[in-house]
Amino acid sequence: MFAAKKLVLAHFWVAFAGFLLAILLGEWQMYVRSPLHAWVNNPEHYYRSVTAHGTVMAYVMPTLVAMGFGYAITELSLKRPLIGVRWAWAGFWLVVAGTVIAAATVAAGRASVLYTFYPPMIASPFYYIGVVLVVVGSWIWVALMSINLHAWRKANPGATVPLAMFGNVTGAYLWAWTSVGAAVEVLLLILPAALGLKSTIDAGLSRVFFSWTLHAIVYFWLMPAYIAFYSIVPRAIGGRLYSDTMARVAFVLFLVFSMPIGMHHLFADPQVGAGFKFVHAAMTAMVSVPTLLTIFTITASVEIAGRLRGGTGVLGWVKALPWDNPVMLAVTFSFVMLGFGGAGGIINMSYQLNETVHNTQWVTGHFHLIFGGAIVIMYMVIAYELWPQLTGCAPLRGGAVKVQLWLWFIGMLVLTMPWHLVGLLGMPRRMAYYDYSNPVLQPQAWTVTMSTVGGLVLVVSTVLFVYILARARRVDPAPAPFTFSLAAHAGERTPAALNTFGLWVAMMIGLTIVNYGYPIAQLAMLKETSVPVIQIGGP
Amino acid sequence: MENGDRIAWGNPWVRWSIVWLFVLTVGAFLVGFVLLPSVHRDYTAGGIWLAICRAAGLPSNWAPPPRRESEKGATSVVLLPAMTTRGSSDAIGRGATLALQQCSMCHGAQGLSEANAPNLAGQYPEVIIKQLQDYKRGDRGGSFMLQISRNLSDRDIEDVAAYYDSLPKARTAPARYDEATAPALVRVGDPLRNIAPCIACHGGTDHKLGAPWLEGMPKEYLVVQLRDFQTGTRRNDSHAQMRNMTREMTAAETEQVADFYARRPKEGDGK
């Protein structure tokens, strides 16, 4: 790498430091509401903790990982120094400053509104300003990704953009458009109320704007993991990428379909019409297509590795896979969790089935399994794979790495499976305590203890993860240069549509206008839809 | 240059992507706006166009019709954060004069009642404004208060509220609502019976707009109010909040909660 080593390291370290603190908060939340602890006396402390946990895990950590990984991909795949390193540092410091401001406000008890904001609850304006700074910092990254790609195109006319960079810029464009919804909500609706300029807020319209961001942000989190599936996993386990074209199709499908589907978070909201809810549910089903394509392509790529290692027969290649390779373990764990989480997600997005699980622990189980599990385990792989490039250490493939990945997998299943179960039984989410003395709830008490144990395993895994990264030392000779996966049919011509973004960005924006235009215009024009704000944490 | 190398209609990638997206979108809209509503009789009763409008979320009548005159006893006061601001010294002075003339007989010279009327000293201004407005509009019953409030202007009400807000409270909250001092219903409520903890609104963990300060209130007053909410005799709580809280409470719990809030500091508590 050329110019961005320190930059990428800084992003990753802040991301993982926040990750470590936030996971401790998460475990504390599980502990105080489990039968192992008396009811927490002040539920506000619980919601303060949930807000901090969510803000760091949803906004700060994945944004920094995506940014850091994006800078690394730019240099490693385009094989030239990053343009705009100073701007990148400015973006980084904006994210850090925003995080500190938001975290301090939450810690002071002035912003226990949860990271999803939930108007008419209104927190101290500093919380929203902090979140806005994080997003603005990430917009600098979006611009730099675009600028670097264009500069590279100019220098290499007609060449095919490397797959990792193509995915990276897809993620950047996705995030740019995705974050507009929450930005509009915060700037036009929430901040005027938080600053005391208005005493009412249109909660329904706010929630519609947030849904614009709320679901697509998930695919922004997911993009680094998918880039790793396609461009790191096949190489790391000694195989070939089955299809470069399929990978690009999956990326652009995310761009088109991840945006205009957020209203499946509003199935229980009265302000949105049933017709739009159905259309969003149908489009949500479409997002499973790129994920299914990915599972097929990566499994095929893994099969190539198994057969190259001498595996034969229908399943013989599975036995021949390099099971002592941490990347092999991680991608397996990730797919198992993606399978359960994805199946659960299809239940959530179904207009009718959602009624049975809406706002229950099932939902918490779903997004922890699919984000905390399937995606974050790939963030860990990304860190392990990049670390030798960033610090000059030897490849991180030892026993400790494997133990760490195993613990993450087991911990995540033990945490989330009980949540799924009790969610079906109707246990509500976001509760500071449950009344276990009640005979109706008593039989479910063990599940909360179980999840607490799962959380503890995740804490141990995280500590080990940070320890492994911190212990890495420079070695001689310097590690081999980083490489991305090679496609099975290298040198195949890439269709122009899959080498550029114009068509897909246009489709993304067009579909958003079709799916969101009318509901937003209608709610914005309706009179008397605002409600008094509820200040959280005192005036 | 071949067609496949340009982003134009002639490029099959472009053409088919757009065609398929169009077909998918139109199909989804047809199912969501026409097919699914057609199986619900209430959707289609007014014809296809009305069904599509309903599926789009267009309200036929968004705001509820104005409250019927006969529905007495539900509050019509809108609580606004502006009501919580501390009054000017002028307002407090005028309020003090009014209070001395009209309130002190029952509510005590310093807002601390000796007659089982509620203490008003240190009460939040928006609470006094809301209750006086409710009395004045006939939404809260009480023979004395109906008569007295009738003659108070909006300005009078705000001034009285400012005056009582300026007085020291009967008792400040204990530093902690812990297991030793506060009943479970006060601290954590009873989720399975849908009873929220008292301290989630009345101060302790949070104070919600319009919820009165209760510490040091006369016990008899609290018991009567809780029972009136429970039986529906008193109905001026917005969104039936207190009626819902008290519906499932037993007589013993009512006593226990009232006891806790009425408790005066013992000698030597040092507060």
Going from N- to C-terminal start, the domains of chain A cover: 5-434+445-535
Domain count, chain B: 3
With a cut of 70, say whether residue A203 has pLDDT above it.
Answer: yes
* CATH architecture of residue range(s) A5-434+445-535: Up-down Bundle (1.20)
Q: Same structural domain for residues B86 and B163?
A: yes
Give me the percent of chain A exceeding a pLDDT of 70: 99
Query: What is the Cα–Cα distance from A140 to A88, expressed in whole angstroms?
Result: 7
Residue B68 lies in a domain: no
Q: Which two tokens stand for residue A378?
A: 């790939």
Backbone angles phi, psi at B175, to 5 degrees: -60, -35
Residue B250 lies in a domain: yes
Residue B61 lies in a domain: no
Query: What is the Cα–Cα distance from B107 to B121, expressed in whole angstroms?
Result: 9
Query: Which amino acid is residue A158, in one-letter code?
Result: G
> Which positions in chain A touch B52 (Cβ < 8 Å)?
275
Encode pLDDT of A440-489 as tens digits: 889 999 999 999 999 999 999 999 999 999 999 888 888 888 999 999 98
Asked whether the beta carbons of residue A518 and residue B56 sit closer than 8 angstroms, the reply is: yes
Out of A286, A497, A538, name the one closest to residue B13 (CB).
A497
Q: What is residue B59's predicted lDDT score, i.e. its pLDDT?
A: 72
Last residue of one domain, picked from the residues B168, B198, B217: B168
Residue B66 lies in a domain: no
Q: Same structural domain for residues B131 and B180?
A: no
Where helices occur in A195-243 by DSSP H, the ranges are: 203-231, 233-236
Q: Provide the residue-wise pLDDT of chain B in tens; the chain has 271 residues.
A: 445 577 888 899 999 999 999 999 999 999 999 999 888 877 777 788 888 888 898 876 655 665 555 456 688 888 887 888 888 999 999 999 999 999 999 999 888 888 889 999 999 999 999 999 999 998 998 888 999 999 999 999 999 999 999 998 877 666 567 777 788 899 888 888 889 999 889 988 778 889 999 988 999 999 999 999 999 999 999 888 999 999 999 999 999 999 999 876 554 443 3
Encode pLDDT of A261-312 as tens digits: 999 999 999 889 999 999 999 999 999 999 999 999 999 999 999 999 999 9
Q: Which two tokens stand for residue A361?
A: 């622990």
The three-class DSSP label of residue B196 is coil
Q: Are A373 and A341 in contact (CB under 8 A)?
A: yes
- Which residue on chain B is closest to A517 by alpha carbon? B56
Quote the crossing angle between the two packed helices A399-425 and A326-349, to the nearest 10°: 10
Interval A499-520 mean pLDDT = 95
A112 pLDDT tier (thresholds 50, 70, 90): very high
Phi-psi region of B108 (alpha: psi -120 to 50; beta: other; left: phi over 0): left
Quote the crossing angle between the two packed helices A61-78 and A376-391, to the nearest 10°: 50
Residue B49 lies in a domain: yes
Last residue of one domain, picked from the residues B132, B149, B168: B168
Q: Same structural domain for residues B176 and B140?
A: no
Last residue of one domain, picked from the residues B136, B168, B200: B168
The alpha-carbon gap from A484 to the nearest alpha carbon of chain B, in Å, equals: 26
Q: What is residue B4's predicted lDDT score, i.e. its pLDDT?
A: 58
A219 is catalytic: yes
Query: How many CB atoms lie under 10 A from the CB of residue B158?
Result: 20
Q: What is residue B195's predicted lDDT score, i.e. its pLDDT?
A: 92
With a cut of 80, say whether residue A537 has pLDDT above it.
Answer: no
Please name the helix (run of DSSP H) or strand (run of DSSP E) that holds residue A143, with its range, or none.
Answer: helix A125-155
Q: Same structural domain for residues B110 and B81?
A: yes
- Which residue's entry shows tokens 């760091």? A56
Interval A115-129 mean pLDDT = 94
Q: Same structural domain for residues B179 and B160?
A: no
Q: Same structural domain for residues B126 and B175?
A: no
> Which positions in chain B touch A274 (Cβ < 8 Å)?
32, 36-37, 54-55, 57
Q: Same structural domain for residues B113 and B149?
A: yes
The three-class DSSP label of residue A96 is helix
Interval A200-205 mean pLDDT = 94
Domain that holds residue B145: 73-168
CA distances in angstroms from A32 to A38, A176, A452, A519, listed in the order given: 7, 38, 9, 41
Residue A374's closest CA among A167, A211, A223? A223
Asked whether the beta carbons of residue A276 and residue B177 sit closer than 8 angstroms, the reply is: no
ipTM of the prediction: 0.90
Q: What is residue B148's predicted lDDT score, i.e. its pLDDT?
A: 92
Eight-class DSSP state of B193 = G
Q: pTM for the complete prediction?
A: 0.88
Interval A175-182 mean pLDDT = 96
Rg (CA), chain A: 23
A358 is catalytic: no
Q: Are B34 and B48 in contact (CB under 8 A)?
A: yes
- Which residue's entry shows tokens 């000698």? B267
Out of A273, A433, A503, name the one closest to residue B57 (CB).
A273
Q: Are B87 and A306 in contact (CB under 8 A)?
A: no
Query: What is the Cα–Cα distance from A373 to A375, expressed in whole angstroms?
Result: 6
Eight-class DSSP state of A61 = H
CATH of the domain at B89: 1.10.760.10
Query: What is the Cα–Cα distance from B146 to B144, expressed in whole angstroms?
Result: 6
A270: preceding bond cis by omega (within 30 degrees):
no
Residue B225 lies in a domain: yes
- Between the two ends of chain B, the Cα-to-Cα distance in Å is 89
Task: Give the best residue of B2, B11, B13, B78 to mutate against chain A (max A CB count within 10 A).
Answer: B13
β-pair partners for A121: A534
Residue B261 lies in a domain: yes
Q: Are A193 and A252 in contact (CB under 8 A)?
A: no
β-pair partners for B207: B202
- What is the average pLDDT value for chain A, to the nearest integer? 94
DSSP letter for each residue of A355-418: HHHTTBHHHHHHHIIIIIIIIHHHHHHHHHHHHHHHH-BPP--SHHHHHHHHHHHHHHHHHHHH
